[in-house]
């Protein structure tokens, strides 16, 4: 709803979310949805299929020598 019909996110929607999540969790969830939706939009624009982009297997992960050092 927040992506496809944001004007429909009325107090009833927020009250329902607050039954299960704190305000901090709702913000985090919204941020994740926004990031993921944006990523998917770019991927769709590039016309890339699943697994078609090369990547480094540890991209985004801290190097082993940095853990606990």
Residue 40 in any domain: the answer is yes
> For residue 33, is it within any domain?
yes
How much is the pTM? 0.58
Give the number of domains in the chain. 1
25, part of any domain: yes
What is the per-residue DSSP string for 7-57?
GG--HHHHHHHHTTS-HHHHHHHHHHHHHHHHHHHHHHHHTPPTT-S---T
Write out pLDDT tens, residues 15-51: 999 999 999 999 999 899 889 888 888 888 888 887 7
Q: Which domain holds residue 34?
A: 20-46
Asked if residue 28 is part of any domain, the answer here is yes
Nearest residue to 33 (alpha-carbon basis) of 69, 67, 66, 1: 1
Is the pLDDT reported for residue 61 higher than 60? no
């Amino acid at each position: 709803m927040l992506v496809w019909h944001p004007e429909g996110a009325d107090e009833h929607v927020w009250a329902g979310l607050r039954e299960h999540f704190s305000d901090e969790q709702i913000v985090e969830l919204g941020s994740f949805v926004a990031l993921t939706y944006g990523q998917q939009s770019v991927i769709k624009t590039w016309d890339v299929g699943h697994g078609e982009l090369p990547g480094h297997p540890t991209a985004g992960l801290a190097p082993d020598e940095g853990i606990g050092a």
